[in-house]
C-alpha cells in the first residue's frame, strides 16, 4: 500500500465562527495538489490544520504500507516573509535537518545538504547570506530547507506569491519534481489558476469553507465553476502546447443570478490523473 494522506470530516472554528466545515479528501504518493479558491475561503487554515498547527475536528491520517507515519513526516512552509538572517544558504538549509544536527557536522549531513542544493539549482549560492538574496532565491532556499529533511508531505502556503515569472515556474517544477522523485505528497496554495493547472495532478477548490471540487484541473476549471467560485465570466482553452489557460472576460455582478453551492460528491474523485501536458 503506497503513501496516503486521508483527511476526514475536517472542521475548524475560531471564536464561534466556522472557517472549514466537513472537508474530506485523499491525496496519493507522487501527487502535487493545488489548493485554489477566493481569498478567505480557508486555504491557509486547511494547510495549518493538516500540519497539526491549529486545533481542528475530524481526522488527518498519513499512512504508508499499512502503518501510520508520525507528525514529523509533514513539513509546513509558510508564506515568505522578511528575512534578516546572517546565515549562509548552506547553513540555512542545514537547519532543516533539525534534531539530526550535533556540534560536529558529519560528512553525510554535508552530502545531503549539497545534494538538495543541486536539486534546487541553487548550489552556486551556498556561501551567500540568505538576507542578500532575491525573493525568488529565498523561496528556493526555504523549500530546500524543507526538502532536506525528506518529509512525506510538503505543505506550501502561497509559494509563488511575489515571485517573478521565471521563479514561479522553477518553484512549481521543484515541488512537482520532489513529489514525483520521492513518492511524497505536496499540497500548495496557488492563486494563478494557469500555473496550478500546468503543474498539479489535481485541484482542490474551496468555496465558503467547503470543498467545491476535487479533481484533475480540466474537470475543475470550467466556466461554470469560475463563475460560481470567483464571480467572473471566463472561458477556458488549451494553448498550442496543451496547457489549460483561463481567459477572464468580466466580473459578475450580484444581479447576475449565479449562486454557489457545494457539490457533495465532486470531492470524491480520488483517482490519480496526470497534469495537462
pLDDT-based confidence at 255, cuts 50/70/90?
low
pLDDT at 254: 67
pLDDT at 98: 77
Q: Which residues have C-beta within 8 Å of that of residue 23, sequence separation ≥ 6?
A: 7, 9, 10, 11, 46, 58, 210, 211, 267
The yes-or-no verdict on residue 21 having pLDDT over 80 is yes
**Sign, CA torsion 257/259/263/269:** positive
Q: Helices (DSSP H) in the chain: which residue ranges? A: 43-50, 89-94, 107-119, 135-147, 165-182, 193-199, 217-220, 223-229
Quick one: 275 exposed, middle or buried, by C-beta within 10 A (0-12, 13-18, 19+)? Answer: buried
How much is the pTM?
0.86
Task: Return the SS3 of 95.
Answer: helix
Among 97-101, 161-165, 177-181, 216-220, the range scoring the smallest mean pLDDT is 97-101
Report the distance separating Cα 17 and Cα 15, nearest Å.
5
pLDDT at 97: 87
pLDDT at 136: 85
How does pLDDT run across 54-110, given as a tens digit for each residue? 999 999 999 998 899 998 899 999 987 667 788 999 999 998 887 665 556 778 888
Check if the beta carbon of residue 134 is closer than 8 Å to that of residue 80: no
Percent of the chain with pLDDT over 90: 71
pLDDT-based confidence at 259, cuts 50/70/90?
very low
Report the distance separating Cα 158 and Cα 200, nearest Å.
14
User: What is the phi/psi pair of residue 233, to 5°?
Assistant: -90, 125
Residue 275: name the closest of 218, 235, 211 by CA.
218
Mean pLDDT of 249-277: 53
Amino acid at each position: 500500500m503506497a503513501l496516503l494522506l486521508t483527511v476526514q470530516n475536517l472542521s475548524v472554528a475560531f471564536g464561534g465562527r466556522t472557517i472549514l466545515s466537513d472537508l474530506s479528501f485523499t491525496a496519493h504518493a507522487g501527487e502535487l495538489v493545488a489548493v485554489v479558491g477566493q481569498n478567505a475561503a480557508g486555504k491557509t487554515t486547511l494547510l495549518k490544520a493538516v500540519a497539526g498547527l491549529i486545533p481542528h475536528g475530524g481526522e488527518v491520517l498519513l499512512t504508508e504500507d499499512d502503518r501510520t507515519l508520525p507528525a514529523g513526516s509533514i513539513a509546513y512552509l509558510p508564506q515568505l516573509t522578511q528575512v534578516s538572517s546572517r546565515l549562509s544558504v548552506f547553513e540555512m538549509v542545514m537547519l532543516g535537518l533539525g534534531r539530526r544536527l550535533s556540534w560536529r557536522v558529519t560528512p553525510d549531513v554535508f552530502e545531503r545538504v549539497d545534494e538538495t542544493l543541486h536539486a534546487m539549482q541553487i548550489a552556486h549560492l551556498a556561501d551567500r547570506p540568505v538576507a542578500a538574496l532575491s525573493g525568488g532565491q529565498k523561496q528556493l532556499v526555504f523549500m530546500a530547507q524543507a526538502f532536506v529533511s525528506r518529509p512525506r508531505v510538503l505543505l506550501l502556503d502561497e509559494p509563488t506569491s511575489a515571485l517573478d515569472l521565471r521563479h514561479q515556474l522553477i518553484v512549481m517544477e521543484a515541488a512537482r519534481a520532489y513529489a514525483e522523485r520521492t513518492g511524497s505528497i505536496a499540497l500548495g496554495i496557488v492563486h494563478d489558476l494557469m500555473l496550478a493547472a500546468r503543474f498539479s495532478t489535481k485541484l482542490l477548490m474551496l468555496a465558503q469553507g467547503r470543498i467545491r471540487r476535487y479533481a484533475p484541473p480540466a474537470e475543475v476549471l470550467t466556466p461554470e465553476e469560475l463563475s460560481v467560485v470567483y464571480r467572473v465570466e471566463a472561458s477556458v482553452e488549451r494553448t498550442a502546447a496543451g496547457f489549460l489557460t483561463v481567459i477572464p472576460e468580466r466580473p459578475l455582478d450580484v444581479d447576475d443570478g449565479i449562486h454557489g453551492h457545494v457539490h457533495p460528491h465532486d470531492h470524491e474523485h480520488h483517482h490519480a490523473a496526470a497534469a495537462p501536458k
